[in-house]
Amino acid sequence: MAKLLKTIPGIGYYSALFLVSEIDDINRFPDSYRLCSYAGLVPSTHSSGGVTYHGNITKTGSKHIRWLMPERVHAHIRSDKNITRFYQRLAKKKGNSKAAVAAASKLLRVVYCIMKEQREYNRCS
């Protein structure tokens, strides 16, 4: 599985091994959103009076994945165009750190797709 994750630009040997060991069995997550939620890379929500507010990331779950993925995003955006455009568009509006976290969530969804379908990286977003 780590061999497949190494096909993602920006994810090296140790990062791939770390993700495989931290995620364990990908089938325990029904969709990519649940994996992002496990890593704490989803916004918190609060609803009152029919209005939903989105706040900071939840920071629940694996703090190690939450640390690793924004680091890998900075390496990934140098070589891939799809997530780079997303990152740059968001960085103009929200700033670099928030854009890195949002792009990390998107990159983790790519990791989910690769692990679930067991195929190499081919713009699986």
**Rounded to an integer, what distance in angstroms lies between the CA atom of residue 54 and that of residue 21?**
31
**Are 82 and 106 contacting, i.e. CB atoms less than 8 angstroms apart?**
no
| Residues 6 and 76: beta-carbon distance below 8 Å | no
What does the H/E/C string look like for the chain?
Answer: CHHHHCCCCCCCHHHHHHHHHHHCCHHHCCCHHHHHHHHCCCEEEEEECCEEEEEEECCCCCHHHHHHHHHHHHHHCCCCHHHHHHHHHHHHHHCHHHHHHHHHHHHHHHHHHHHHHCCCCCCCC
Question: Could you report the average pLDDT of every consecutive run of 10 residues in the chain (125 residues)?
Answer: 90 94 93 93 88 85 90 87 90 92 93 92 66
- What would the pLDDT profile of 82-118 be if each residue is shown by its tens digit? 889 999 999 999 999 899 999 999 999 999 999 999 9
Full-model pTM: 0.88
Q: What is the pLDDT of residue 123?
A: 56
pLDDT score recorded for residue 90: 93
Per the CB < 8 A criterion, the answer to whether 15 and 68 are in contact is yes
Q: Can you give the pLDDT at residue 57? A: 86
Q: Which tokens hold the place of 44?
A: 């918190």
